[in-house]
A = this chain, B = another copy of it.
Amino acid sequence: MANWKNLDTLASYNELKGVKKVNLKEVMSDESGAERVKKYSVPMAGNMAFNYAAKEVDDSVLEALKKLAEEAELAEKFEELYNGAVINTGEKRMVLHHLTRGQLGNKVEADGVDKREFYLNEQKRIADFANKVHAGEITNAAGEKFTTVVQIGIGGSDLGPRAMYLALENWAKQNGKFKMEAKFISNVDPDDASAVLNSIDVAHSIFILVSKSGTTLETLTNQSFVTDALKKAGLSSSDHMIAVTSETSPLAKSDDFIEAFYMDDYIGGRYSSTSGVGGAVLSLAFGPDVFAEFLDGAAAEDKLSANKNMLENPAMLDAMIGFYERNILGYPSTAVLPYSQALNRFPAHLQQLDMESNGKSVNRFGEDIDYVTGPVIFGEPGTNGQHSFYQLLHQGTDIIPLQFIGFKNSQIGKDVDIQGSTSQQKLCANVAAQIVAFACGKADENKNKNFEGGRPSSIIIGDKLTPAALGALLAHFENKVMFQGFVWNVNSFDQEGVQLGKVLAKKVLAHETDGALAEYSNLLNI
């Protein structure tokens, strides 16, 4: 059994504070910089590598981080997690999302079944369903094929699946795998559902209602929106809607659906892209084989994350460097900057994944802690971001650690040659240039044009954004966040911080308010 201790009780944490800081500008200049780029790299799955040459680490810092990772027993804790220990202490649950894509350790039984088999079985049921929809065996009441799939869900039922869909949409079109267009309804703002419904052919659309508990207010409200629209078109929910939910939810046995597919309480919403929550929409949009490749990429990355040696474990390394930046160097936020338009909503997914998991002030036993935890995460794709907020990243008064992602090849492969280079080459040249500009800066007598440098970044470099690469990327960040939660000794798998707002919103709707809340309700005409 691993020892779950607060960070500041670990001897190696105090040792780490004393390790000499790296002068990034110095070490990244000249030949020393070239050597670091070759040396500080670790392979990932999906034909990718995590390169951390431009982070504020050297062999001494890495050694100290490795020692801390060992004292904090990160590898052992992951092992306990995938073997079915109750890691989610707040909700007293196992944490089993890794089992949706592979079996890393022992068989895990719960609710009287082998959970790996349960997830596999749901994956097969979804695959079978999607194949029948594509083959025209499951159709609308008029016997016509469905052409559009609409996911109704919020938070983890929206951000991850949406980011994954957008990431693979062009790849699928280019590779003959595009089966159906997907749309997403999430916000309780009625204009969200209205706009999506106005943009589709309801009679040829299949809707996926996603709510683990079956009680998410936004999602049930949007279900009604869609059911109303179906009724008005003379159609029935039971011909047009499927559910992804837990077996114990009120949705599970309802007659309102063509079919229900199951997940369970051992999979948090933000970790559910590889379960039926992502599986239904991605299998319908691109076919079950593409979803399977995506899962294989995630499973391969999970295996790397189980390596006990931090230096060979990209997720653990990334986690420990991020922790170092947050707790030792004192940087309060991190930007995620994919040089890939297809990943344009990937930062929004990571924002939930990271901030909802580790934005905590108590440890996993519910006791106060005396150190900072999860940082603010934000980001937009490059090169767009370069023409937006990079000014502050280069010359602002705070240092913001950066996480770049880049691919050698585009997904569609169509390109133009302007001024002696293709767009893809320009894209890659820009990300390479940014890393060095941030790290090394450039002195200028005109201080307005001076770049201090010393601004750390890492980059994940891949061959191409394929389903397998995307799966590996997703698993990398999930595991990074998990390891950071272990270091901070927080429970990364609950989200009690979202409850109070829900309770107060209900009071407002019931007109049971006083004080400031009554006044705000009044101003907002509720």
Chain A, residues 181-202, CB within 8 Å of chain B (1/0): the string is 0000011111111110010000
A209 at the interface (CB under 8 A from B): no
User: Would you call A23 an interface residue if the criterion is a C-beta within 8 Å of the partner chain's C-beta atoms?
Assistant: no
Decide: B361 and A452 in contact? CB cutoff 8 A. yes
| Given A389-B352, A400-B376, A406-B524, residue A418 in contact with residue B189 (CB < 8 A) | no
Tell whether, in the assembled complex, residue A388 and residue B436 are in contact, meaning their CB atoms are under 8 Å apart: no
Task: Tell me which residues from 357 to 414 in chain A have a Cβ below 8 Å from any Cβ of chain B.
Answer: 357-362, 366-369, 371-378, 380-384, 386-398, 400, 406, 408, 410-412, 414
Question: In the bound complex, do residue A501 and residue B434 qualify as a contact, i.e. CB atoms below 8 Å apart?
Answer: yes
Are B498 and A30 within 8 A (Cβ)? no
Contact assessment for B359 and A391 in the assembled complex, using a CB-CB cutoff below 8 Å: yes
Considering the complex, give the chain B residue whose CB is closest to the CB of A51.
B523
Given contacts A188-B383, A332-B332, A372-B397, is CB(A54)–CB(B516) below 8 Å? yes
A112 within 8 A of B: no
A396 to B358, CA, bound (A): 8
Q: How far is the CB of A379 from chain B (nearest CB, A)?
A: 9
> Once the chains bind, are B332 and A500 in contact (CB under 8 Å)?
no
Q: Which positions 415-431 of chain A face chain B at CB distance < 8 Å?
A: 415-416, 418-431
A390: nearest chain-B partner, CB-CB:
B498
What copy number does this chain have within its complex? Answer: 2
- Contact (Cβ within 8 A) B437 A500: yes
Contact status A501-B437, CB under 8 Å: yes
Whether a CB of chain B sits under 8 angstroms from the CB of A47 is: no
Q: Contacts A34-B516, A526-B432 given: A366-B224 contact, CB under 8 Å?
A: no
Digit string of A486-526 for contact with B (CB within 8 Å is 1, else 0)? 00000100111111111111111100001111111101111
Cβ of A520 to closest chain B Cβ, rounded Å: 4
Q: Does A213 contact B (CB under 8 A)?
A: no
From known contacts A388-B356, A524-B406, infer whether A497 and B451 are also in contact, taking CB-CB under 8 Å: yes
Chain B residue contacts of A31, Cβ below 8 A? 515
Asked whether A446 is an interface residue with its Cβ less than 8 Å from the other chain, the reply is yes
Q: A372 to B206: give the CA distance in the assembly, Å.
A: 52
CA distance A353 to B166 in the complex (A): 26
User: What is the number of residues of chain A that contact chain B, defined by CB distance less than 8 Å?
Assistant: 160
* Contact of A505 (CB < 8 Å), options: B416, B426, B451, B518: B426
Least Cβ–Cβ distance between A161 and chain B, in angstroms: 13
A518–chain B nearest beta-carbon distance, Å: 7
Chain B residues with CB below 8 A from A222, complex form: 423
Tell me the bound Cα distance from A170 to B507 in angstroms: 31
Stretch of A246-254, A306-314, A340-348, A476-484 lying at the B interface? A340-348
A221-B418, A380-B351 as given contacts; A339 in contact with B189, CB under 8 Å: yes
Please tell me if the beta carbons of B520 and A395 are within 8 angstroms of each other in the complex.
no
> Which residues from chain B contact A332 at a C-beta distance below 8 Å?
332-333, 398
Q: Is the CB of B433 within 8 A of A504?
A: yes
16 extra interface residue pairs, beta carbon distance < 8 Å, beyond A390-B501, A428-B526: A49-B523, A51-B523, A155-B387, A170-B191, A187-B427, A189-B342, A190-B424, A195-B341, A218-B387, A222-B423, A352-B389, A360-B391, A360-B395, A376-B378, A406-B524, A429-B521
24 contacting pairs across A/B (C-beta < 8 A): A33-B515, A33-B517, A37-B523, A188-B427, A189-B339, A189-B341, A194-B410, A195-B341, A217-B426, A221-B426, A224-B418, A225-B416, A269-B387, A359-B392, A360-B397, A362-B447, A373-B396, A394-B500, A395-B496, A420-B509, A429-B524, A433-B504, A436-B515, A461-B524
What are the 4 A-B residue pairs with the smallest beta carbon separation, nearest first?
A: A359-B392, A155-B387, A33-B516, A433-B504
